[in-house]
Chain A
Amino acid sequence: MNAALEFELLKARRAGVFRWGALVVAVGVPVLCTAFFELVRLGGDSPSAAKAATMITELSLAGLLATAGQVLSVTILMTAGIAASWSFGREFVDDAMPALFAIATPRSSIAAAKFVVLAGWALVTVMSTVILTVISGLILGLDMDPTALQTASQVAAVGLLGAVLAAPMALVSSWRRGYLPGFVALVAVVVVTQVVTAIGAGAWFPYAAPALWMGMGGAAAAKEVSVIQLLLPLPVAAMAVVTTLSWWRRAEAR
């Protein structure tokens, strides 16, 4: 393992933002969605059951997974965005940046290692979310049929697409030298996504397309999301990563 990756892994292992973020997503999402699912399955006319019924359209494992996918599309963006902002922004807030100059390991390698750690964290978190949701469904006695398997793959894809969309927050935190600007950008992205989706242009907006595909805008809207629209997060993330690495290569330690 190279030194930069070893260094970033060491810091990530100690960081509450990674630990708690993974816990909130990988445990929180399955538990919350399973609770909603049971609320709907048991029936009742409480306001909570009525609200949960709008999210869970099908009382099957595929239905449970689809709900988890919709919640995951937002929570993974939020937690990965916070983790990315913190990971890059802390170097400035903690005054650690000067120590990363004039050393044998280039700064761009350290920034690349941060992205690798974030990607690994996101992969583990998303896959854990899918697996724990499936286990919850099986405990409830739901069947693992081909539709459930397909939905599980869709949830994993949506989770990973949501995670890569956190990359621009790394750029903002680097450029503005702190994690708060990254957090502000994250909130702004969520607000803009809501607005864009409300006016009906969501499928072309990279931050909205995965959630729409997962059914957040209804079954009809999900079918209209094209492959190109769904893959838009990838060039967005790639541009953010390349620009961030370039920024780290050229930035001064002021």
Chain B
Amino acid sequence: MGLEVMTTAPDTGLRAWFARVRDSDVFYSFRRSPVTIAAAVVALLCMGGALFAPWIAPHNPFDMAAINLMDSFVPPVWTSQGKVMYLLGTDNQGRDVLSAILYGARISLGVGVAAVLLSMVLGVSLGLLSGYAGGRTDAVIMRIADIQLSFPAILIALLIDGVAHVVLPRGSYGSIAVYVLVFAIAISGWVQYARTVRGSTLVEKSKEYVQAARVIGRRPAAIMLHHLLPNVMGPVLVIATIHIATAIITEATLSFLGVGMPPTTPSLGTLIRIGNDFLFSGEWWVAVFPGVALVVLVLSVNLLGDWLRDALNPKLR
């Protein structure tokens, strides 16, 4: 597998590690692709902006006490009625759009990454188990996966979110909306991981090193964890990168539909939903800027994912 960077680095010195990265095939293909470099820069900027939002955002859009309703619908700064303190204008409640985007991206990215991690853990474990154990376990897990694949992921996320709204004690929903979203998106995405890992596991488990591990009496759990897992992770990383983009979009969709983040702690999707009501009436900036931010974020992550897929796939090189 072409994953020298991650798996085969016995020399743990930092300098040696950098050298390995610099000389690796992956980094070579990265250097050769200007689009990828641009995407990486943009993605890093987005993530930096999201991560450091509390320090770089001009306002705190979640602090209800700091929002002034009289400042609502201020257009962007370059228009005649713009105000310097609101670079990209304000929304219907008087929130600074730029700050709301930075904080919103924080939520969108946070939810996206957390959902992908959860999805990955779940999918990889089930895939390993399914591929290694085979038989009835395999059949049950894969049939569940098949059933789930016959629904669109967004539908499953909607379902989980809807049920959570009803089941969870009222009053608490606003504070746990984030966790519900992460869970809903994670559950809707585990199948891809499980199927990929299962396929790789089926190939790997008949190889000699696995046989050897079995002969010396290692327990199945240890074999799966220490021997199989490192060798099936390559494609998983590719899926995960692209899945982050999908998860961000799913979160935005759910929030746009009004079942995701509440309007008092908006994500990018919530911001677009709020702005959507004012598209006809000329207050375009409320929806357009969060929309652009979402497109840029998702596009850059997607481009990175595409590149990683190509770089890690020896057949395409």
A associates with B: no
